[in-house]
Amino acid sequence: MLSSLSVRQVLLAICGGSFLLLAYGMYLQHVVGLEPCPMCIVQRYALILVGLLAGLTAATRGRIAHLGGAALLVIMGGFGAFVAARQSWLQWYPPETVSCGRDLYGMIESFPLQRAIPMIFKGGGDCSKIDWTFLGGSIANWSFLCFVGVVLLSVWLAARSLGKR
């Protein structure tokens, strides 16, 4: 089934899937009210880069461009998987004291605005806290699986691009 898809179709699927996952993360934050932790924010940035890389690579032509894009996707997907795995480990084995960040008002009251604005984008939740589950997996667990899927698809794309001459 996967072999019948073109490289461009797989890249567009990765791009679209990334932005759908980001949209769902925004829904969980702004509608459901889940506060993202700093590790969640880092995973979002990784997912944004995965989506952009996949979209830009899909827009290019040529084996070399596809190989380079796939290599960058492996790196970025691996980074996202690493952060998600670390967060999953913290959730399974939480430390006795956890401090992943301050709340918005505490940051604005305690720091000048030029220091508070970057802190806002660091998130504020507890990285070891599990607020949401689906089929027994937390957001970090599912994020890990999605990043591993991106890495595996990217390796397959690179191998397929190498096979075509």
Domain boundaries, the chain: 2-163
pLDDT tens for each residue of 136-149: 777 788 889 999 99
CB 151 within 8 A of CB 64: no
| pLDDT value of position 16 | 92
pLDDT-derived band at 77, boundaries 50, 70, 90: very high
| pLDDT tens digits, one per residue of 32-47 | 877 787 778 888 889 9
Side-chain half-sphere CA neighbours of 157 within 13 A:
32
- pLDDT tens for 1-20 read 556 678 788 889 889 999 99
This prediction has a pTM of 0.74
Query: pLDDT over 70 for what percent of the chain?
Result: 72
For the chain, give the mean pLDDT: 78
More confident residue, 114 or 53: 53
User: What homologous superfamily is domain 2-163 in, according to CATH?
Assistant: DsbB-like (1.20.1550.10)
- Strand ranges (DSSP E) for 6-149? 133-134, 137-138
How far is the C-alpha of 158 from the C-alpha of 70, rounded, in Å?
6
Closest CA to 92 of 41, 144, 25: 144
CA distance 105 to 90: 26
Rounded Cα distance, 156 and 165, in Å:
16
